[in-house]
């Protein structure tokens, strides 16, 4: 028999998953309600916190998006998607130094999260640090030598674009 806490966890997961499905079908406002209901059951639920952050990011409310992404990363420091999303928001708010530092820290804790290398590369390029951008891609390609986006970005950097 499932414990009440176990049922709440399952219910929170189900609500978050329903929200995600709604979000993917263009019903962001409805999705956000499911995420919030999931958080009522499990306030420390990193995936739901990340999803609320994505909702606010889509609404261009970067202050709230940042707050939810930060909570998700605080709850689970190696949560690659939330850290990557937080870095994108930090950069959009003009703090590329903090965004780069966050991704470097993430990749020390969770080097398998490949999208962070791509984001890191782009942040380095945007800040004029091409050598560091190439190094980020080389680290990615050591992990996954056929990563299509990594290969494409590296070629662009080598071609001087």
pLDDT reported for residue 160: 80
pLDDT reported for residue 8: 47
What are the boundaries of each domain within the chain? 4-115
Read off the pLDDT of residues 64-99 as tens digits, 9 standing for 90 and up: 999 999 999 999 999 999 999 999 999 999 999 999
pLDDT reported for residue 9: 54
pLDDT reported for residue 2: 43
Read off the pLDDT of residues 106-129 as tens digits, 9 standing for 90 and up: 999 999 999 999 999 999 999 999
CA distance 17 to 130: 39
Q: Is 39 exposed, middle or buried (0-12, 13-18, 19+ CB in 10 A)?
A: buried
Taking residues 54-65, what's their average pLDDT? 97
Read off the pLDDT of residues 10-46 as tens digits, 9 standing for 90 and up: 699 999 999 999 999 999 999 999 999 999 999 999 9
Residue spans of alpha helices (H) in 25-160:
28-41, 46-58, 62-75, 80-92, 96-109, 115-126, 130-143, 148-158
The values of phi and psi at residue 148, to 5°, are -60, -45
CATH code, 4-115: 1.25.40.10
Confidence class for position 4, pLDDT limits 50, 70, 90: very low
Q: Is the pLDDT of residue 6 over 60?
A: no
> Structure tokens of 120?
């890191």
pLDDT reported for residue 61: 98
Q: Is the pLDDT of residue 47 over 70?
A: yes
Residue percentage of the chain with pLDDT more than 90? 91
């Amino acid at each position: 028999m499932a414990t009440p806490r176990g049922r709440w966890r399952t219910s929170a997961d189900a609500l978050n998953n329903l929200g995600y499905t709604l979000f993917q079908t263009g019903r962001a406002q409805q999705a956000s309600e499911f995420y919030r209901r999931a958080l009522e059951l499990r306030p420390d639920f990193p995936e739901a916190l990340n999803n609320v952050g994505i909702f606010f990011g889509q609404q261009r409310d970067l202050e709230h998006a940042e707050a939810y992404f930060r909570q998700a990363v605080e709850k689970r420091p190696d949560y690659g998607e939330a850290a990557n999303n937080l870095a994108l928001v930090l950069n959009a708010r003009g703090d590329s130094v903090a965004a780069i530092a966050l991704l470097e820290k993430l990749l020390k804790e969770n080097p398998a999260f490949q999208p962070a290398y791509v984001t890191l590369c782009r942040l380095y390029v945007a800040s004029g640090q091409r050598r560091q951008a190439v190094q980020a891609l080389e680290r990615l390609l050591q992990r996954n030598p056929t990563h299509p986006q990594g290969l494409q970005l590296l070629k662009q950097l080598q071609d001087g674009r």
